[in-house]
Each structure stands twice: as C-alpha cells, then as structure tokens.
Structure 1
Amino acid sequence: MSRSFEIVSESAASVDAIHAAFGREDYWLDRLAGDAASTLDSFTVDAAGVIEVHITQHLGRQVLPSLVANFVPRDLKLLYRETWRLAGDGRVRGESNVTASGGLGASRADNTLSPSGTASQLRATGNVVVKIPLVGGKLEKSIGESLAKSIPATLRYTTTWIAEHS
C-alpha cells in the first residue's frame, strides 16, 4: 500500500532565484548545517544546467519509534536524491526520491516550481510506501503529515537563504 500526497507552497522568491540557489553547493551545505546525521554525498550541475544532489541521513535505532525499531536490525539510513532542471515557460521541474535502507520503504515526488506574479509556487505530488508489517500504513500517514510541514519549511528556508545571500 502507499499514501499519495500533494503539497502546494508559496515563496516570495522568484523561480529563477530558487533554481539558482539549488545550483549552489554552499546552499546545500548551509541547509544541512547543524544536522550531524546528514551528509552531502554528491552535488553536480551538468552542462545543460541539470542539478543533482545526493544526501544520506543516518538515523540511529534509538531515535526510531519502538515499533519501527523492532523491524530494523541496525541503524536506518535514508538516501535522498533530488534532480532539478529548467522546464521552459519560466518553470523548473524536480524529482525527489528517498529510499530507506533494508528495503523498508521509499518516497517519490514530482516537483514543479512555477511563477506566481513576481514570486513562485512549488507543487509537490508523490507517494510514500512503508514496507513494515502492521505499522506501515500508520507510518505512511505520519510521513505524509511530516512532508506537509517540511516541504513548506524548506521553501521558507530557501527564501530566507536567498535574501541573505543575494
């Protein structure tokens, strides 16, 4: 089973400014600063301007809910992969993929940054799958609720970062 989500968030920053921030390694390093559990494993921008970011988040068993920890034989690793590219008409498209070590689950989102006057709007649509018996559905719901908060929070962080680094 999986849980679908759609999240829409607004930013005062333009699509071009957000895309430019995503294309800077210092943005990603700043975004991860203070999170000792996460590492920026790879950051590339190819000749066509396609941005690809790989992040690993290490979650110790002690931070996992007890029901989840029972199904996880060791610390959990989340592998984040994001790709962003110009899509024309002033839009930027992205894909976000997260996989949990041990095949415990995954998340995928298709993201579109679109102009909204002088500002921008981010629309993220995707799904979450947790492959843990008995608690998978509850975790999918919890992760979906967390994404509904974290995606707008990340866009707010990006907007602030742009204002501070322009």
Structure 2
Amino acid sequence: MARRLSYSARYTHPADQLYQALSTRQYWDDLMKGFRDLTPQSDVDSFVTDDGGLRVVLKQTLTRDQLPAIAQTVMMKDMVITREESFGPFDAEKATGEYTASIPAGPGSLTGVQELFPTDTGCTIRRTTEVKVFIPFVNGKLEQLMLVNLVDLFRGEAEFTSDWVTENL
C-alpha cells in the first residue's frame, strides 16, 4: 500500500524569482555542494532549461553504513539515489512539474508532483509525494521512514533556496 505526503514550502520571494533560481545551473550546483557535507558524492548529472521548462537530474550516494538499520536489511550495497525534478514553463498563476527518486534494484518507488504559485506574501511550492515499498512485513515502516526523511529534506532545501535567492538574485 502506498503512503502519501503533501508538503508546502512558503517563501517571501515572488514566484518568478524562485522559478529563476530553479532555472539556474549554479543554484543546483550550490545545492549539491551543500549536500556533500552529508553525502560526499552529490552531483548534478544533467541540467536542461528551454522553452519547455526545466529538468535536472541529481545523483547522490549514501554508503551502506550511513543507512538506518532497517534499510541496511534490504540494501546490501551503497545506495545510489537518482533524483529527477522538472517544471514546465513559468506561468504567473501556477507552474507545475514532477519529481522522482530511484535506486537501482531498489525495493520501491518515490514519485510526486509539484506546483509553484504566488501568494499574498510571496510564493509557495507544494509537493505531493507517493512512496511505495514492495517488501512484505517492513514496507509500512520503510515508507514511513522515507516520508519522515523527505520532510526533513524538503524543509532543509526550502531554507537553502530562500537563502540562495536572497544572496544571488
């Protein structure tokens, strides 16, 4: 059974400025540089921006000893996470996109949709995630663990993004 989570990051910056940051390769490079404190192998694998919007592929490696005990029971090697994010073209009312995270031979999937829209005080990115783990008996625990860690990830990235926009745009 899949588990779902909706998370909203609120910004004081206007939506077009936030979209501009997401459309900048340097933003993603700086984000991965920050991740290297936690996962030394964190890189932008590809980045494309054009009239159709933006698409970025990130690769991060967590060594097996960095994984929680329950995850070590199913992951016998280092965990390589490939994360893809996209947004369609900027729209002043709402820009939409998708994201996925995958692990080769991983025991599940993580997919989501995201929306960037203006608010009275700036803008919001709302992400709705679905996590599925296909291992009997531990699937629910692993799904919940993934969602808890995802909230921490989204919260940290929102803080980084806000600071990055303030300093760079």
**Structure 1 length-normalised TM:** 0.91
Distance 2:31 2:92 in 1: 28
Which sections of structure 1, spanning at least 5 residues, go unmatched?
none
CA contact (8 A) 1:57 1:78 kept: yes
The CA deviation string for residues 143-164 of structure 1, in whole angstroms up to 9 with x for no partner, is: 1122223213312211110110
Q: Which amino acid aligns with 1:82?
A: E
Letter in structure 1 aligned against 2:44: L
- Distance 1:89-1:29 versus aligned 2 partners, 3 A rule: closer
Match in the other structure for 1:159: 162
Aligned residue for 1:140? Answer: 143
Structure 2: gaps (5+ residues): none
Superposed CA deviations along residues 40-67 of structure 1, whole A, max 9, x for unmatched, are: 1001112x14111001111111111223
Contact 1:105/1:131, CA 8 A, preserved across alignment: yes
1:93 and 2:96 are equivalent in the alignment: yes
Other-structure match for 1:6: 6
What residue identity is the alignment partner of 2:17? A
Deviation at 1:104, TM superposition (A): 1.6
The one-letter code matched in structure 1 to 2:68 is P
2:122 pairs with one of 115, 119, 122: 119
**2: CA distance between counterparts of 1:44 and 1:89?**
21
Query: Any conservation in 2 of the 1:11–1:121 contact (CA below 8 Å)?
Result: yes
SS at match of 2:130: strand
Q: Is residue 2:81 matched to residue 1:78?
A: yes
| d(CA) in 2 for partners of 1:132, 1:69 | 13
Which residue, out of 39, 43, 46, partners 1:39? 43
Equivalent residue letter for 1:141: Q
Q: CA deviation at 1:17?
A: 0.7
Deviation at 1:90, TM superposition (A): 2.8
Kindly provide the CA deviation profile for residues 81-100 of structure 1, in whole angstroms up to 9, marking residues without a partner as x: 00112363432212110012
Identity %: 27
- Pick one of 59, 72, 96 that aligns with 2:62: 59
Residues 49 and 41 from structure 1, CA distance in 2 versus in 1: closer, same or farther, beyond 3 angstroms?
same
Contact between 1:79 and 1:100, CA under 8 Å: does it hold in 2?
Answer: yes
SS in 2 for 1:108: strand
Over aligned residue pairs, what C-alpha RMSD do you find? Answer: 1.6
State the TM-score, normalizing by the size of structure 2: 0.89
Q: Distance in 1 between matches of 2:159 and 2:68?
A: 28
